[in-house]
Amino acid sequence: MPRIPTAAAGPPASLADVTASDGALRRFLHGLPGVDPVGLEARAAALGTRSIKTTAKAYALDLAVSMIDLTTLEGSDTPGKVRSLCAKARTPDPTDRTTPEVAAVCVYPDLAAVAAEALAGSGVKVASVATAFPSGRAALEVKLADTRAALAAGADEIDMVIDRGAFLAGRYLEVYEQIRAVRQAAAGARLKVIFETGELSTYDNIRRASWLGMLAGADFIKTSTGKVGVNATPANTLVLLEAVRDYRAATGVQVGVKPAGGIRTAKDAVKFLVLVNETAGDDWLDNRWFRFGASSLLNDLLMQRQKLRTGRYSGPDYVTVD
């Protein structure tokens, strides 16, 4: 198997000069081809009409379960709630041991230690949000301290947010330098960069942010925090998928994608998997390269699995209450 270059090193030699100055970076990002919104949304909608049945559906459901970053990001989170979520992450459906584990549990940094302890010995990773999630409005030193605290608590993955204010004001190099700094602070961990696509107003901006994040060394690019009105939609996820496909074609570096927020049904999840397969390709159909940031999605996937197994429609009485 060929060794896949990692993103951590920063921009490859072929693109080294685009981050040399603010002007060069701006020219590069604004030189990216524009997104045709009508075509994009039509393509995303068309791919959502695929009919996935029987064995393909069973495969898709299990794959989707294995790709979930089971998330709890509430002010009211307690260690007990995180522990019960971790138990669910390890054994999503206690009535069916063939159910795969989820990919990770995603929590706030102060609860990462609780999650790390509860997940010890399993294949489930600990993901922690950091850098003044969800607004990203704090001094760089604070963001770096936040990141270090999460890592010290045992996080395997860091979900950082970009400074949307700086991005929308056109200070691209500042956003780039911040991601680089967090990237260096989180050496060894997988870094997911959240763009909060619902706040970027245009698909062109989402494409620029995607390239900016990948140039700065993101292992994953992620749509949303789940804290604003518009979260992951098929269309904005499609922009991200096109970006990672083009980035690998240009540089040979593979970057993962994580839509987050608003994906609640198994049907939606399968639609996203179709998008992945048809856009980025089946190299991404693995929880190393594609994740769902979700919480209630898991219950619906489990109910659908039970339906496939027993032939009866299941109900919320047969899965855990989160």
Partner 1 sequence: MTQADARLSVLKTYKLYVGGKFPRSESGRVYEVTDAKGRWLANAPRASRKDARDAVVAARKAVAGWSGATAYNRGQVLYRVAEMLQGRREQYVAEVADAEGLSKAKSAAQVDAAIDRWVWYAGWTDKVAQVAGGGNPVAGPYFNISAPEPTGVVAVVAPQESALLGLVSVLAPVIATGNAAVVVAAEERPLPALSLAEVLATSDVPGGVVNVLSGRTAEIAPTLAAHQDVNAIDLTGADAELARELEVAAADNLKRVLRPRQPYDWTADPGTGRLTAFLETKTVWHPTGSLGVSGSAY
The residues binding partner 1 (CB under 8 A) are 306, 311-318
For this structure, is 227 an active site residue? no
The CA-based angle 3-66-233, given to 5 degrees, is 95
CB nearer to partner 1: pick between 9 and 56? 56
**22-30 helix and 172-185 helix, angle to the nearest 10 degrees:** 100
For this structure, is 222 an active site residue? yes
Cβ partners under 8 Å of residue 168, min gap 6: 199, 200, 201, 205
Beta strands in 46-124 (DSSP E): 68-71, 104-107
CB nearer to partner 1: pick between 18 and 301? 301
- Least distance to partner 1, CB of residue 318, Å: 6
- Least distance to partner 1, CB of residue 95, Å: 12
**Which of the residues 69, 146, 156, 159 is marked catalytic?**
159
- Least distance to partner 1, CB of residue 312, Å: 4
- Least distance to partner 1, CB of residue 313, Å: 4
Quote the CA–CA distance of 229 and 252 in Å, as a whole number: 35
**Which of the residues 143, 192, 222, 271 is marked catalytic?**
222
For this structure, is 159 an active site residue? yes
Q: For residue 272, which of 292, 243, 289 has the smallest C-alpha distance?
A: 292
**Which of the residues 88, 258, 271, 300 is marked catalytic?**
258
Q: How far is CA 152 from the centre of its chain?
A: 22
CB nearer to partner 1: pick between 252 and 316? 316
Catalytic residue positions, numbered: 159, 222, 258
